Amino acid sequence: MQIKGGRFMVTGGISLIGSHVTEHLLEAGAEEVILFDNYSLGTTDMIAHILKDPKVRLVRGDITRINELYDALDGVDGIFAIAGFLTLPFAANPALGLTVNALGHVNVLEAARYRGVKKVVFSSSVAAYGDPEPGLIDEARPFQFDGLSPPVVLYGATKIIGEQLGRLYSARHGVQSVSLRYSTVYGERQHYRGVNALYIIDTYDKLMAGERPVIPGDGSEVHDYIHVADVARANLMAMDSEVTGESFNVATGTATSLNRLFEIVAGIVGSDLTPEYSAKGGAVRTAVASSLDFSVEKIERMIGWTPTVSIEDGIERLIRWRQSQG
């Protein structure tokens, strides 16, 4: 579906990812973008520039209330289904996390079906793999959750449910649906709700306060950090393509250790402090690995997307944004 001239809803529109998707939609010539959010986690503080655009309409609504979706979907061509509870808010309120991530997504698909929306692009997660065995991780890898903490497993399970609902509505009702499995997303307008992106922002905050950041273990733990601009591009390209009923990794394919992350942040802010190492991790730990290799072959082949922002450039962008906030 063509983006130029199209009308789109972004659920969770005021979020980190939703706000970047919105900026990309406006740049690509979308006719209207409806930001549909209940403000439960996000705020509009950082998106005043987006809200000034006459093509943007902010609707305070809840995906757990299907009537609010029906009302707001008049004339919408495509939905970016981004509203959801990440692992940390999920751990704090599992009942609401399950309701929003699983039942909320049925509502989005059901409302799309009855309102004639052509396509839904769903924000899934590599949490759908749980704690995968070492080796190249492509989309056929099964969910392996043995040993993971319950909120991490439950969060991953809700993403699997969301993906399968999308496939069901695609096959049964003709609502095209694509699921994007993001790795750890970070970037400008970074929040404190992502377990693994927290390391970047916590390190920055601590260094700015003249304190030594705490790194769990020996710092060899790795994550695949994907910049939010690349994630937004993947969303638009998935919407634009004719592909349906598929899931794709949206990752860089490059693992970055917590030690390397510290070096990058300290280098950008010019700090000579060293980290403290602690045996104790945060309240909620995701899968911890010292190697991680997500395949992005499928999304490149079927949709034409590849990552473009290096971790060094991406963290620099995030920090310059934070500094510009004062």
Ligand X SMILES: NC(=O)c1ccc[n+]([C@@H]2O[C@H](COP(=O)([O-])OP(=O)(O)OC[C@H]3O[C@@H](n4cnc5c(N)ncnc54)[C@H](O)[C@@H]3O)[C@@H](O)[C@H]2O)c1
Interface ranges with ligand X (CB under 6 A):
11-12, 14-18, 37-42, 62-64, 82-84, 86, 100, 104, 123, 125, 182, 184-185, 191, 193-194, 197
Torsion, Cα of 73, 75, 81, 83 (10° steps): -40
Length of the chain: 326
6 vs 194, which CB is nearer to ligand X?
194
Q: In angstroms, what is the minimal distance from the CB of 263 to ligand X?
A: 21
Q: In angstroms, what is the minimal distance from the CB of 72 to ligand X?
A: 11
Strand partners, 223: 256
Q: In angstroms, what is the minimal distance from the CB of 131 to ligand X?
A: 16
Q: In angstroms, what is the minimal distance from the CB of 214 to ligand X?
A: 21
Could you give the residue ranges of the DSSP H alpha helices within the chain?
A: 16-27, 48-51, 66-72, 87-92, 94-98, 104-115, 150-173, 198-208, 228-240, 258-269, 297-302, 311-324
22 vs 271, which CB is nearer to ligand X?
22
17 vs 271, which CB is nearer to ligand X?
17
Residues in CB range of 159: below 8 A, 6 or more apart = 101, 124, 125, 127, 128, 179, 181
244 vs 286, which CB is nearer to ligand X?
286
Strand partners, 58: 35
246 phi/psi in degrees, rounded to 5? -120, 155
Residues in CB range of 310: below 8 A, 6 or more apart = none
159 vs 206, which CB is nearer to ligand X?
159
Q: Are the C-beta atoms of residues 193 and 201 closer than 8 Å to each other?
A: no
Q: Are the C-beta atoms of residues 173 and 113 closer than 8 Å to each other?
A: yes
Q: In angstroms, what is the minimal distance from the CB of 279 to ligand X?
A: 25
87 vs 271, which CB is nearer to ligand X?
87
Q: In angstroms, what is the minimal distance from the CB of 16 to ligand X?
A: 4
